[in-house]
Amino acid sequence: MRFRADGAMIVCPCCRNDTFDKDYRQLNSRGATFFGLDWANRNATILVCQRCTHIAWFMSEPERWDD
């Protein structure tokens, strides 16, 4: 899939590929983990390059872009 962030096409900075797999990861903090509140941590969207597997992290979800 192809994606845009703030209107700009996302391309891999390593191989210049423009297709990615999307997933989500939790941003753990020491304080929340210490108190057993991991569920309260924020999530980030990650895009994994389908060619070289470079991972790009986004705090705001990129929008899917189809030609």
> What is the tally of structural domains in the chain?
1
- Does 67 fall in a domain? no
- Does 65 fall in a domain? no
Residue 27 confidence (pLDDT): 74
Per the structure, the complete domain to which residue 25 belongs is given by: 2-60
* CATH number of domain containing 23: 2.20.25
Nearest-angstrom CA–CA distance, 3 and 45: 12
- Does 53 fall in a domain? yes
14-46 pLDDT tens trace? 999 999 999 998 776 665 565 665 555 568 999
Residue 66 confidence (pLDDT): 83
Average pLDDT of the segment spanning 49-64 = 96
Cβ-proximal residues to 36 (8 Å cutoff; 6+ apart), any chain: none
Nearest-angstrom CA–CA distance, 11 and 41: 28
Contact (Cβ atoms closer than 8 angstroms) between residue 41 and residue 31? no
